[in-house]
Amino acid sequence: MDLLFLGTGAGIPAKLRNVTSIALKMLEERKTIWLFDCGEATQHQILHTSLKPRKIEKIFITHLHGDHIYGLPGLLGSRSFQAGHSELTVYGPKGIKEYIDVSLKVSETHLQYPLVIEEFKEGIVFEDDQFVVEAAVLEHGIHSFGYRITEKDRKGTLDVDKLRNDGIMPGPIYAKLKSGETVQLEDGRIINGNDYVGPDQKGKIITILGDTRYCENARNLAQNADVLVHEATFSAENEELAFDYFHSTTKQAATIASEANVRTLCLTHISSRYGKDDWPQLVKEAEKVFPNSLIAHDFMEIKIK
């Protein structure tokens, strides 16, 4: 899985930072892409990447501020013209359905694929045999959510070398052994699949938060995550401003990362008051509290190891 930052700025588009959108690329895991937020011109940003809109399977919206949703109707419409025929689900807080429905209706946009819109409150938003996505409300001027994406543990890999050494050659039997079945070979030997399968592979945890003040639910959602994406609209010295505008500072984001014992912190939603020359200083502020901190920039991609 990879995280690709399509927009990393706060509030209004800037030359070096477009407004928020993040793609979680799961091309190996499920051959699809999940998008988190869709600020204005997200589809323009996508044009500079290898992402295919038709591969977008789900869009998770954190909150309804314009810098997180103004790109949505355009992207949904364009997906129809780009061979997008598979179902797409949008998850978001109450109001997202009305916003999408009205935008598509008045512009007479007719989608060529099934669109499902799910408004949720809190708790489990989505679950299948591979992933579970949970949401919890944060502290912002309007209802803003954070998401915790947990990949379920995967069965270990089949030790083919060991099988061959024991004289068990490839065939349909391998699938049975991989699923842990006990089978009898033609020579009469009884083989237990579990003896040939490695330990379960631990699933990854990714936490992507919407706009928020420093708050407890941010910490809960981030617990032991492999990657935490936390907004850092302001520098450490602007704590009061951050509080007044319902945002966080670099230091507060790093404090959450440290308290929640995450592996990597990625700061985003950076105010345009900070120019390129200020960015190294912003990371330093976070690193003082949590050494493994990064500051996102548009088109930055990180591998989730």
Report whether 57 contacts 33 (CB < 8 A): yes
Q: What are phi and psi of 77, to 5 degrees?
A: -65, -45
Q: How far is the CB of 209 from Zn ion (least distance, A)?
A: 11
85 annotated binding-site participant: no
Distance, in Å, from the CA atom of 280 to the CA atom of 273, rounded to the nearest integer, reads: 14
Site for Zn ion in 38-97 (CB under 5 A): 65, 67
> Are the CB atoms for 17 and 1 separated by under 8 Å?
no
Using the minimum distance from each CB to Zn ion, give the nearer residue, 40 or 211.
Answer: 211
Q: In this structure, what token pair is assigned to residue 270?
A: 């950076």
Q: Which of residues 141-180 bind Zn ion (CB under 5 A)?
A: none
Half-sphere exposure of 71 (CA within 13 A, CB side): 28
Q: How far apart are CA 17 and CA 270, in angstroms?
A: 8
Q: Least CB distance from residue 68 to Zn ion, whole Å?
A: 6
Among candidates 220, 293, 217, which has minimal Cα distance to 250?
Answer: 293
Annotated ligand binding at 211? The verdict is: yes
Q: Is there a binding annotation on residue 110?
A: no
Determine if residue 67 is labeled as part of a ligand binding site. yes
CA dist 62 and 210 (Å) reads: 5
Residue 128 labeled ligand binder: no
CB closer to Zn ion out of 65 and 148: 65
Residues 105-144 that bind Zn ion (CB under 5 A): none
Distance (Å, rounded) from C-alpha 205 to C-alpha 151?
6
**What's the min distance (Å) between Cβ of 129 and Zn ion?**
33
Least Cα distance to 62 among 104, 16, 14, 120 occurs for 120
E-state strands within the chain = 2-7, 21-26, 32-36, 56-60, 88-92, 115-119, 123-127, 131-137, 145-151, 182-184, 190-192, 205-209, 227-231, 264-268, 293-295, 301-303
Q: Which of the residues are catalytic?
A: 67
Q: Which of residues 188-217 bind Zn ion (CB under 5 A)?
A: 211
Minimum distance, C-beta of residue 80 to Zn ion, in the bound complex (Å): 27
As measured in angstroms, the least distance from the Cβ of 60 to Zn ion is 15
Residue count at the site for Zn ion (CB under 5 A)? 3
Structure tokens belonging to residue 112: 């060529």
Residue list, annotated binding site for Zn(2+): 63, 65, 67-68, 140, 211, 269
Contacts to Zn ion by CB under 5 A: 65, 67, 211
